[in-house]
Structure formats: C-alpha cells, structure tokens
C-alpha cells in the first residue's frame, strides 16, 4: 500500500527554517542545526534516515523548496535527498509555473501546476510504478517546505507525519503549522538520539 508521508525537521518552537530563508540561504539563519541529525554518524540517526529514504517511491516538494535545492547553493553530490542513503527517486514539484531552467537536470523532475492534490496523485502513480518494478512497498514522501506540508495536512492528504524534533530554539523563521483545520494524530513511534527526537504519527 502506497502511503503519503510528510517528513520534516522542526525546531522546538515549531520552525522548519531559521529567519531569512531564501535561495542563497535555504535554511535561514541558524537553520542548519535542524538537520544535524541527517549528517550525524550516530547509529540511531543513520537508521532513521536509511529506513525513511529506502521507502521513497516518489518525493513531493513545493516551489520555494525546489528553488532552494536547485539553486546555486543547493543540492550537490554530497547533500542531495537522503544524504547518500538512497538512489534517485522521481521528484514532483507543486508550482504555479514551470521554471525556465533546471540546474539538477540529471534528476527526474515533474512540475504540477494544477495544485497539491494533483501533485499527490502524480507522485502516487510514480511510487506505485516503482513498487511494481521493485517488488517492494514504496511510499510518497512529502519533504516540504512547511507551507506545503501544512496544506497537505489541512487537505487530508497525509497518512503519516514524521517529525525530526531538533534540540534548538530558533525564535523565528518558517512555521510548520499555521491556523488550519484540526487533525487528530496517533503516535506510532519515538526514537530519541543525541541530535533529534524522531516522532512518527498516523494521521486520522
């Protein structure tokens, strides 16, 4: 069964970037601390990253996040999706318009201009095709940004919400949750490590 899983790092005060994020400063001031766990040698962190990324049949991201990862200071051979733990799943970008050019042209990009539900449907189709091809159950991973995940939660598109709670208070930045529709969650797992508390919730 292909699930849609939102997976994102967040500060103790609820921000997914520090203040002043942008294409040249993707995580904002101090935001790098949110992802210390993803580059850690801690066995618990490595296991969490490996288990999450190996189930990635397709990945959804919003246009602002795409502009960061495809920008001049974005992903490279050492800092792409999964930090070396996974191959190259197809990426589906929710956007109002297609970009004029793509720097990371060796990745499989699909740009959906008709809204998040259509992007989710396109990503699910890609993940199901990958599942059939590999014989393994693969999921759709919604990696961000914060507004895209919040919108997906409000729209009832998520099956699972995974948060990597970093031990940092940023004070301001991009909030993960805004005033949206109430949702009930059931906690399914908690994995504490020195760099984060990894939380998995089922969305009811």
SS3 81: helix
- Cα distances from 103 to residues 31, 65, 83, 110, 128, in angstroms, run 23, 14, 19, 14, 27
SS3 25: strand
Q: What is the pLDDT of residues 13-65, one digit of tens each?
A: 999 999 988 877 889 999 999 999 999 999 999 999 988 888 999 999 999 99
Name the more confident of 86 and 187. Answer: 187
Map out the domains of the chain as residue ranges. 4-203
Chain mean position to CA 112? 17
Helices (H), 11-115: 43-54, 63-69
Its pTM stands at 0.93
Paired tokens of 147: 């507004």
> Phi first, then psi: what are they for 37, rounded to 5°?
-60, -35
User: How far is 138 from 132, CA to CA, in rounded Å?
Assistant: 9
Chain mean position to CA 192? 20
Q: What is the pLDDT of residue 203?
A: 96
Confirm or reject CATH 3.30.1330.60 for domain 4-203, answering yes or no: no
User: How far is 19 from 189, CA to CA, in rounded Å?
Assistant: 30
SS3 37: helix
Q: What is the pLDDT of residues 131-188, one digit of tens each?
A: 998 889 999 999 999 999 999 999 999 999 999 999 999 999 999 988 777 889 999 9
User: How far is 62 from 174, CA to CA, in rounded Å?
Assistant: 14
What's the chain's length in residues? Answer: 204
Q: What is the pLDDT of residue 127?
A: 96
110 in Cβ contact with 90 (< 8 Å): yes
């Amino acid at each position: 069964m292909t699930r849609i899983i939102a997976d994102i790092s967040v500060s103790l005060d609820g921000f997914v970037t520090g203040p002043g994020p942008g294409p040249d400063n993707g995580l904002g001031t101090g935001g790098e601390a949110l992802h210390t766990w993803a580059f850690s040698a801690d066995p618990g962190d490595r296991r969490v990253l490996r288990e999450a990324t190996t189930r990635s049949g397709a990945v959804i991201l919003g246009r602002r996040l795409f502009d960061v990862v495809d920008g001049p200071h974005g992903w490279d051979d050492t800092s792409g999706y999964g930090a070396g733990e996974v191959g190259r799943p197809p990426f589906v970008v929710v956007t109002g318009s297609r970009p004029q050019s793509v720097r990371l042209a060796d990745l499989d990009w699909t740009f959906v201009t008709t809204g998040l539900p259509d992007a989710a449907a396109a990503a699910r189709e890609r993940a199901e095709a990958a599942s059939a091809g590999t014989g393994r159950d693969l999921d759709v991973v919604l990696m961000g940004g914060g507004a895209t995940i919040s919108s997906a939660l409000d729209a009832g598109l998520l099956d699972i919400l995974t948060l990597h709670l970093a031990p940092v208070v940023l004070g301001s930045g991009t909030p993960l949750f805004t005033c949206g529709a109430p949702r009930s969650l059931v906690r399914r797992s908690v994995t504490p490590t020195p760099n984060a508390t990894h939380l998995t919730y089922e969305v009811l």
